Copies of this chain bind each other. A is one copy, B any other.
Amino acid sequence: MHSLDELKERLREFARERDWEQFHSPKNLAMALIVEAAELVEHFQWLTEAQSQALDPEKREQVAQELADVFLYLVRLADRLDIDLMDAAQRKIVLNAQKYPADKVRGSAKKAGES
């Protein structure tokens, strides 16, 4: 599996095999996505920023699994809404570049990626 499209197909099949499509409304999937995002946040909540950049292998693998969970729900939710994730990402980068011109926001925490 190498592409978002293949991943999307795999997740469709996964839900279909389990008869889970009935639960996969966008509303519910958005809830599931934020729950996984919080499990990610939980790994970092008592760490300093420096510690969060230097995870030991076990913790790093746990974090990788949480990132995967967020990714899977993100791909699934985009599919249910017939939204092309990669296309949306490209368009958003263009918008962000207009919103945060490099020479205006350089080094400013205030604007570091707010969107």
Using a CB–CB cutoff of 8 Å, the interface residues on chain A facing chain B are: 1-4, 7, 10-11, 14-15, 17-20, 22-28, 30-50, 52-53, 55, 60, 63-65, 67-75, 77-78, 80-81, 83, 85-86, 88-93, 95-97, 100, 102, 105-107, 109-115
Q: Which residues of B contact A81 (CB under 8 A)?
A: 55, 60, 63-64, 67
Knowing A34-B34, A37-B34, A85-B68 are in contact, say whether A90-B1 is a contact too (CB < 8 A).
yes
Q: Which residues of B contact A27 (CB under 8 A)?
A: 44, 47-49, 52
**B30 with A44: CB separation less than 8 A:** yes
Q: Which residues of B contact A96 (CB under 8 A)?
A: 14, 72
